[in-house]
């Protein structure tokens, strides 16, 4: 496989995928020049200068880290590859898709829609970078803090695709299961006061878990519940699935069309289609420890064998080499 010099333009905060991409690219022998737009007062000018100085084979970006006008100018000097990591299409996205030399979406069901904007649009699902989720030790304090019948990690904000999550998590609590959820705090608004001071608010774990603490939640919770935002769109699984399962979680999620081609329901993960089925699955698997642990271990092995970011960026590089070399 050809090795590339890649300018990686994305956010490198603790919880962003930028670090995972960088490590995975380097594992594949590529030279990576990381650039975080948050680190500069004038990121557009800085990246233009960086491209002139380093002459990368291509620039890899994820979202609207820079202005679309800057990306148009960058295309005169290098190839532009975009790997968009969400199943939602915001208004700002189509102009970036149009400018890219190659556009990758993590949502297979949207490929044909994106091809109308850019014929070089393809599906490339996300992955797991195990080196960031190693657990050094699990203490008794960890067991007390991170253990639960059911854990949820994600956003319960006020955007429309987040609101159904609140209803389902409330149902988990109302049916007598011990729930802990982790992520950004719910917004403090008049409309959320009953939630904040109710059972759902009290089930908040108190932090946004990531890396080792995320792995501890995945390992110590009996059931890791995932509520995908767009389950009706084919293969719209987020990186959450790969990360949680790769960390050893028993993963219970909404059934996403095509998910069985990635991880096998009933053997490596478990899926549900409605609230009643979700509750039935929680009841059943909480009573069956050995089966739950067997499924979690099978899923973990599959993710480590087929769905790491090291494998994913290798697939990306192979596709790019077929297109351009």
Q: What is the pLDDT of residues 51-71, one digit of tens each?
A: 999 999 999 999 888 999 999
For residue 106, give Cα distances in angstroms to 123, 165, 166, 199, 237.
6, 21, 25, 34, 8
Closest CA to 315 of 83, 58, 33: 83
CB 152 within 8 A of CB 205: no
Tell me how long the chain is.
Answer: 325
Class for the domain spanning 136-306: alpha beta
Question: What are the extents of the domains in the chain?
Answer: 5-127+308-324, 136-306
Distance CA 26, CA 211 (A): 20
pLDDT digits (tens, 9 = 90+) for 140-192: 999 999 999 999 999 887 777 788 899 999 999 999 999 999 988 877 775 66
Burial-class residue 197 by CB neighbours within 10 Å (0-12, 13-18, 19+): exposed
**Residue 213: pLDDT band by 50, 70, 90 thresholds?**
very high
Instruction: Tell me which H or E stretch contains 182.
Output: strand 179-182
* CA dist., res. 100 & res. 79, Å (int): 8
CATH class of 5-127+308-324: alpha beta
18, 23, 25, 28: CA torsion to nearest 10:
-170
With bands split at pLDDT 50, 70 and 90, how would you rate the model's confidence at 305?
very high
pLDDT tens digit sequence for 113-139: 999 999 999 999 999 999 999 999 999
pLDDT at position 193: 62
Helix (H) or strand (E) holding 84: strand 79-84
- With both helix axes pointing from N to C terminus, report the angle between 289-306 and 275-286 in degrees, rounded to the nearest 10: 110
Question: For residue 296, what is the enclosing H or E element?
Answer: helix 289-306
Task: Examine domains 5-127+308-324 and 136-306 and report if their fold is the same.
Answer: yes
315: Cα separation from own chain's centroid: 18
Verdict on whether the full-model pTM lies above 0.85 = yes
Q: Coil, strand, or helix at residue 263?
A: coil
Query: CB burial class (10 A; 0-12, 13-18, 19+) of residue 100?
Result: buried
Would you state the structure tokens that stand for residue 320, as one six-digit string? 């790019």
């Amino acid at each position: 496989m050809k090795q590339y010099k890649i300018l990686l333009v994305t956010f490198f905060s603790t919880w962003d995928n930028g670090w995972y991409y960088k490590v995975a690219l380097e594992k594949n022998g590529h030279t990576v020049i990381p650039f975080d737009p948050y680190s500069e007062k004038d990121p557009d000018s800085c990246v233009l200068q960086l491209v002139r100085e380093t002459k990368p084979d291509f620039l890899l970006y994820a979202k609207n880290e820079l202005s679309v006008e800057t990306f148009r100018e960058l295309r005169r000097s290098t190839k532009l590859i975009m790997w968009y990591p969400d199943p939602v299409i915001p208004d700002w996205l189509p102009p970036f898709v149009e400018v890219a030399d190659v556009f990758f979406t993590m949502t297979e069901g949207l490929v044909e829609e994106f091809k109308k904007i850019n014929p070089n649009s393809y599906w490339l699902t996300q992955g797991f970078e195990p080196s960031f989720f190693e657990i050094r030790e699990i203490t008794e304090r960890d067991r007390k803090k991170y253990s639960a019948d059911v854990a949820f990690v994600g956003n319960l904000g006020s955007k429309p695709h987040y609101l159904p999550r609140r209803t389902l998590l409330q149902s988990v609590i109302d049916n007598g299961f011990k729930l802990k959820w982790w992520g950004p705090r719910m917004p403090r608004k008049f409309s959320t006061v009953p939630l904040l001071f109710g059972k759902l608010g009290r089930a908040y774990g108190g932090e946004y878990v990531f890396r080792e603490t995320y792995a501890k939640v995945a390992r110590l919770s009996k059931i890791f519940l995932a509520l995908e935002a767009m389950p009706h769109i084919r293969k719209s699984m987020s990186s959450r699935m790969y990360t949680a399962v790769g960390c050893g979680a028993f993963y219970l999620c909404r059934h996403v069309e095509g998910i069985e081609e990635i991880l096998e329901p009933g053997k490596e993960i478990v899926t549900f289609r409605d609230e009643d089925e979700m509750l039935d699955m929680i009841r059943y698997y909480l009573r069956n420890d050995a089966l739950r642990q067997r499924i979690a271990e099978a899923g973990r092995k599959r993710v480590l064998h087929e769905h790491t970011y090291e494998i994913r960026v290798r697939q990306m590089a192979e596709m790019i080499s077929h297109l351009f070399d």
